[in-house]
Amino acid sequence: MPHHIRPATSVSDPLTSSPHLPEQDAILVTGGAGFIGSHTVVQLLSLGLRLVIVDNLCNSSEEALHRALELAGNKGELFFHKVDLLDGAALEKVFELYTFSACIHFAGLKAVGESSQIPIGYYQTNVTGTLNLLQLLQRYNCRNFIFSSSATVYGLPSSTDPIREDASLGALNPYGRTKQYIEEILRDIANSEPNQWNIIMLRYFNPVGAHESGRIGEDPNGIPNNLMPFVAQVAIGRRPVINVFGNDYETPDGTGVRDYIHIVDLARGHVAALNKIQSFSMGAHTSVHNSNGTKSLGCVPYNLGSGIGYSVMDMIESMSKAVGRQLPYRVIERRLGDVALCVADPTLSAHDLDWRAEKTLQDMCNDLWRWQIQNPNGYEARVATAASGTEEEDEEEGTLREDSDVASVASTSSASLPETSPSTPTPGELAPSVFASLPVTLLPIISTIAKPAPVMISAESLKAVTAATPLVKPVVATQVPVVSPAGSPARGATAC
């Protein structure tokens, strides 16, 4: 049985519009317990939707789902299955339990530096896991798909102009290439079945911040390699100083400029994408046509960014204002491959999805600080992990992560992390367990699995589970060894 996580009373944050999906259908959310996933879950639950979360919890926390239900104010329904996308048999069991109207796909590994160390593991988890998912979606006739892509697919910008969706692609590392290859696969799938697929690929830039309540946020595993989680840890006293990589770029203050977007705005972008897909499905497709005259959306990429560039010093100063004191930093040598400026052009998202980033830079910093002071050690699961010694080991090893920008200007403490580019980590930076858990062979694609008839569960039977029912582990097939400490978009890292 799945975990049926019952809501607790809390403040709701409902949106004004809903995709109005059929009552008996559910939305599948892979990696829904991660940073971006959990914030999106809040938005969807607030609309009263039924969600099925699939996550292997290797680098995320089930606690985030409990808190998401609180924040949704008893709206919607949430069912959780601890399943790895590489376990095709276990994943199909989930498909047998529900009828899905759409899928939002966050799950995957996403540390750029780590991807250069274990590329086979990244291709297996991200690409093969996605293929497993897509085959089941096709088999069970769910062709509405939202993919968590990344600005890393653009590679190095060819100019300082804001990046549009029609810019050339050229990812520079295995992680980015997995996203780029999946995008190519999605385009091929849409072309192979004309007028059937509605696929939106959301290319994230740099999500930061937290829910304004401070209840859910970014919970890095080990030493953060994203700028703002590290800044927050310096502010709370877990790290001594922020390293700023170079102050001689051709920017107003000499530090690198990136496009940062509030995590709640990013989550809203997924609701906007779902609304867009709904206009081409659920019967509405008979009167709605795409720009090319077809009655399905096909496969379309959209940037999710603010369109505003903020420098590293802008971020530090805004966070200092949120904290109420100047945060310590020092300037060190710039890193090979970093670029001066990388900003999204979000015009297409505004036009097609009616979506725009609304929250300010200070909102991002204020909400991030509220999350940090309320959760100095992250979610409860992370506190328990730290008590067992795993957290300290992670800090010593310096597990690397990467922002979703094209060439991240991250900040780290020189006392705890070698001063190298995150895309070229030195041996020893990655936890030994990463290599110990690397699968020897690739899993076969699940096309040989016999297709059983899907089973619809009535709303009455679902609601029969009472709030007093204890959480139990779902009955699934034997789990495949996990490639790396992730499986949903990494806690503390963006899903891109």
Residues acting as catalytic residues: 175
Write down the H helix ranges in 56-205: 63-71, 88-97, 112-117, 119-122, 129-139, 174-192
How many other C-beta atoms lie within 10 A of the C-beta of residue 287?
8
Helices (H), 171-304: 174-192, 227-236, 263-278
Contact assessment for residue 6 and residue 75, using Cβ atoms and an 8 Å cutoff: no
**In terms of Cα–Cα distance, which of 307, 179, 326, 160 is closest to 242?**
326
Burial of 386 (0-12, 13-18, 19+ CB in 10 A): middle
Q: Which two tokens stand for residue 269?
A: 């972008």
Q: Is the dihedral of CA 397, 398, 399, 400 positive or negative?
A: negative
Residue 193 CA: distances (Å) to CA of 138, 187, 281, 296:
10, 10, 15, 10
| Sheet with strand 3-4: strands edge to edge | 3-4, 77-81, 50-54, 26-30, 100-105, 144-150, 198-204, 298-304
- Largest Cα–Cα separation, the chain: 63
Looking at the chain, the number of H-run helices and the number of E-run strands are 16, 14
Q: How far apart are CA 297 and CA 290, in angstroms?
A: 6
Terminus-to-terminus CA distance in the chain, angstroms? 31
CA 288 to CA 196: how far, in whole Å? 14
Q: Are 406 and 156 in contact (CB under 8 A)?
A: yes
**Which of 81, 134, 126, 89 has its CA nearest to residue 108?**
126
Rounded (10°) CA dihedral 202, 210, 102, 277: -50
DSSP helix/strand/coil, 458 = coil
CB 24 within 8 A of CB 463: no
How far is Cα 100 from Cα 50, in angstroms, rounded to an integer? 10
Give the 3-state secondary structure of residue 51.
strand
Q: Which two tokens stand for residue 157?
A: 């910008």
Q: Which two tokens stand for residue 419?
A: 């001063």
